[in-house]
Amino acid sequence: MPTTPQQSIDQIFTHHEPAILEGWMCEQVAALTSRQDLMSTAALRTQSQAFLALFTLACRDGGLVDITGTPWAPVLDFLADLSSQRAKLGFTPSETATFVFSLKQPVFARVREELGADVGTLVDDLWGMNVLLDKLGLYTMELYLKSRETVIKHQQLDMLELSTPVLNLWQDILAVPLIGTLDSSRMQAVMENLLGAIAKQGSPIAIVDITGVSAVDTEVAQHLLKTAAAARLMGAQCIISGISAPIAQTMVALGVPFGSVDTRATLADALAQAFAQTHRQVVVMEPQAY
Amino acid sequence: MDTTTLERFSLNGSEDVVRVRLAVRTWMRANGFTLLQQTKMVTATSEMTRNCVTHGGGGSAELQQLRDGERLGLRLRVADQGPGIADLPLALQGGHSTTGCLGLGLSGSKQLVDDFEITAEPGKGTQVHITQWR
Amino acid sequence: MTTSIPIIAFSELLLVTIQGDVSDEQLEALRAELCERIQVTRAKGVLMDISGLTLVDSYLSRTLVALTTQSRLLGATLVMVGMRPDVALTVVDMGLRLEGVNAVATLEQGQALLRRLALASGQEGGHGHHNT
Ligand SMILES: Nc1ncnc2c1ncn2[C@@H]1O[C@H](COP(=O)(O)OP(=O)(O)OP(=O)(O)O)[C@@H](O)[C@H]1O
Ligand SMILES: [Mg+2]
């Protein structure tokens, strides 16, 4: 029977799937990159077995050259899931790609045994298989990196949330203490959080404290002004406190029209103003004799 | 980029303005745009369709879904056969109205959407495209 | 097909509730109706609840300013209540200004403001006006 590489590979997988799986498991577990702390051997085996089944079908129906065709779609989907799962679990890119690359060894061993003396076919087979597994490996790597980026983006969003809390300083008085470097996307988050809190709680006063802010550029200043203007339309007064001398100078130099906004030197001044406006008074008590 | 027409409207009176606004709101809400993105687009829609009715003598509007890879967008095209705009740069600058209004419809809407295109040659009517991306 | 915007009279005030998306005709009708109701009830305050209103474009902002001025001419103070954050940001982005329109966050704050203004104008012999 004349063997084309495709037929022989197909048959090797169909007839020797258990042996290939065993060989592959050995490779994966023995690899320096095996991460049994992140994934149990049993889970790895299930995953490997599922992959082999899909891979065998795709080799038979789709050929070994073009992995973009429909028969290969289930294999690619499987790898996409695997990549994002491993990205979330904390595998590195090379640990992830090892999944595919380590399949080479057991497959080559099988091919060699099967084809014995037929060297010509063997070379073709080996070459085809090598290229194919490299393609899949690279595909896996690419998707891994994409998933990783998504994870990082989520973390950044979480950070944004964490770094801009809206505090209930007192009944009717909200405050946002800003610290560090302000950029446009962070200011957008601050603005939306604060206005959302005003609407939800019906707070008539909101203090934005920028004592901990190192520098303010025009864009950030515009956001502050916009926040104040929107708050006013919602029925809340916005007080900006903690403008340092250098920031005040920059504001004037940039020509930012801060005249329309309430500003106070310190958070304490802003709070005093807020108390006055909500008809509250802070009284210092005489020390009591015991 | 894939463009799909979602709905067409004829614009003759202020109830048509409301219909287009509602269609924009409904589609954007169903497709995961943020509330702020929705409100900005709906407001710009209101300005452009009302201009069409009051200054352009009525016309038509079309809603299109845009898909560019992962990105999803909504585009509104408004067109009329009215007089066009003699001094377009001035009209876009804001604060200029031929009807004694605020004249902030065009300039303001430009700030609300991701893309804003207008052609308004005198005698050839006015065409406006506004787009918001998710 | 136009349903009118409801105006409710309670404890010497008028409460107007605008909800969802309203047409120019509905707003035009409101202007006329509110004038009449202020004259009939002699209300000194109007609470305009817009917490359910989903957009304020140039036409609506013009209407809110007009309603404020009109009410003042008839001896009533109009207070706008509860503009939504997304609407407020859109108004600011457009560069619209609601000049002279009083704004508060809640109905209680609106009532309190009207009470304060009434007291103040009482002391000044009824000539006091307030705008922000
Ligand atoms: N579709 C149109 N056809 C003809 N002229 C137009 C059209 N749209 C706008 N214009 C012209 O451009 C001017 C500015 O438009 P814009 O929407 O900014 O202000 P407006 O409609 O006059 O007032 P506002 O929108 O603030 O109520 C209009 O006064 C009008 O002269
Ligand atoms: Mg206009």
pLDDT score, position C127: 40
Is B132 in contact with B37 (CB distance < 8 Å)? yes
pTM to 2 decimal places: 0.72
Q: How far apart are CA A138 and CA A249, in angstroms?
A: 54
Which atom of ligand 1 is found nearest the CA of B78? 1
Q: How many CB atoms lie within 10 A of CB C42?
A: 11
Percent of chain B's residues with pLDDT above 70: 99
Using CA positions, which residue lies closest to atom 9 of ligand 1?
Answer: B51
Residue A38 has pLDDT above 50, yes or no: yes
Q: How confident is the model at residue C129 (pLDDT cuts 50, 70, 90)?
A: very low
pLDDT score, position B9: 97
Q: How many CB atoms lie within 10 A of CB A249?
A: 10
Average pLDDT over residues A185-205: 92
Residue A244 has pLDDT above 60, yes or no: yes
Q: Cβ C109–A202 below 8 Å, yes or no? A: yes
- Give the ligand with the smallest distance to the CA of B126: 1
Name the residue among A150, A162, A234, A241 with its Cα closest to residue A198: A234
Cβ of B43 below 6 Å from ligand 1:
no
Q: Which residue of C has its CA nearest to B106?
A: C94
Average pLDDT over residues C17-33: 92
Name the residue among A236, A242, A244, A251 with its Cα closest to residue A270: A242
* Protein residues with C-beta less than 5 angstroms from the ion ligand 2: B 51, 105
Q: How confident is the model at residue C14 (pLDDT cuts 50, 70, 90)?
A: very high
In a domain, C86, yes or no: yes
How many angstroms separate the Cα of C129 from the Cα of each of B51, C20, C61, C132?
Answer: 35, 31, 21, 10
H or E element at residue B85? none
Helix, strand, coil shares of chain C as percentages rounded to 5?
45, 20, 30
> Is B47 or C125 the better-scoring residue by pLDDT?
B47
* Measured distance between the N- and C-terminal CA atoms of chain A, rounded to whole angstroms: 109
DSSP letters, C37-81, are: HHHHHT-SEEEEEEEEE----HHHHHHHHHHHHHHHHTT-EEEEE
Q: How far apart are CA B109 and CA B25, in angstroms?
A: 16
In a domain, C55, yes or no: yes
Q: Which residue of A has its CA nearest to C112?
A: A278
| Sign of the CA dihedral running B86, B92, B93, B98 | positive
Query: Domains in chain B, please, with CATH?
Result: 2-133 (3.30.565.10)
Q: How confident is the model at residue C124 (pLDDT cuts 50, 70, 90)?
A: low
Residue A83 has pLDDT above 90, yes or no: no
> Is B93 or A114 the better-scoring residue by pLDDT?
B93
Percent of chain A's residues with pLDDT above 70: 90
Cβ of C97 below 6 Å from ligand 1:
no
In a domain, C130, yes or no: no
pLDDT score, position C130: 36
Total domain count, chain C: 1
Average pLDDT over residues A166-179: 91
Which atom of ligand 1 is found nearest the CA of B84? 4
Q: How far apart are CA A103 and CA B100, in angstroms?
A: 76
In the predicted model, what is the mean pLDDT of chain A? 84
CATH number of the structural domain spanning residue C83: 3.30.750.24
pLDDT score, position A92: 82
* Backbone torsions φ then ψ of C101, nearest 5 degrees: -90, 125
pLDDT score, position A205: 95
Residue A288 has pLDDT above 80, yes or no: no
In a domain, C131, yes or no: no
Q: How confident is the model at residue A234 (pLDDT cuts 50, 70, 90)?
A: very high
Highest mean pLDDT among A116-125, A263-272, B97-106: A263-272
In a domain, C102, yes or no: yes
Nearest Cβ partner for B14 among C1, C25, C84: C25
Q: How confident is the model at residue C38 (pLDDT cuts 50, 70, 90)?
A: very high
Q: How confident is the model at residue A158 (pLDDT cuts 50, 70, 90)?
A: low
Is A216 in contact with A182 (CB distance < 8 Å)? yes
pLDDT score, position C56: 96
Q: CB contact, 8 Å: A15 with chain C?
A: no
Average pLDDT over residues A39-57: 91
At a CB cut-off of 8 Å and minimum separation 6, what does A248 contact? Answer: none
A59 burial via Cβ count (<10 Å: 0-12, 13-18, 19+) = buried
Q: Which residue of C has its CA nearest to A194?
A: C85
pLDDT score, position A1: 41
Q: How far apart are CA C65 and CA B81, in angstroms?
A: 32
Which domain, by its residues, includes C79? 7-121
Q: Cβ C88–A203 below 8 Å, yes or no? A: no
Nearest Cβ partner for A233 among C103, C106, C109: C103
A103 burial via Cβ count (<10 Å: 0-12, 13-18, 19+) = buried
Grouping H, G, I as helix, E, B as strand and the rest as coil, residue B78 is strand
* 3-class secondary structure per residue, A26-87: HHHHHCCCCCCCCCCHHHHHHHHHHHHHHHHHHHHHHCCCCCCCHHHHHHHHHHHHHHHHHH
pLDDT score, position A118: 65
Q: How confident is the model at residue A134 (pLDDT cuts 50, 70, 90)?
A: confident
B65 burial via Cβ count (<10 Å: 0-12, 13-18, 19+) = middle
Query: Domains in chain A, please, with CATH?
Result: 5-160 (1.10.490), 167-277 (3.30.750.24)
Weakest-pLDDT range from A21-35, A183-197, C27-41: A21-35
pLDDT score, position A163: 65
Residue A194 identity: L
Nearest Cβ partner for B111 among C56, C57, C94: C94
How many angstroms separate the Cα of A256 from the Cα of each of A224, A252, A289, B105, C97?
Answer: 10, 6, 53, 25, 18
Q: How far apart are CA C92 and CA B112, in angstroms?
A: 10
pLDDT score, position B95: 79
Grouping H, G, I as helix, E, B as strand and the rest as coil, residue B7 is strand
In a domain, C1, yes or no: no
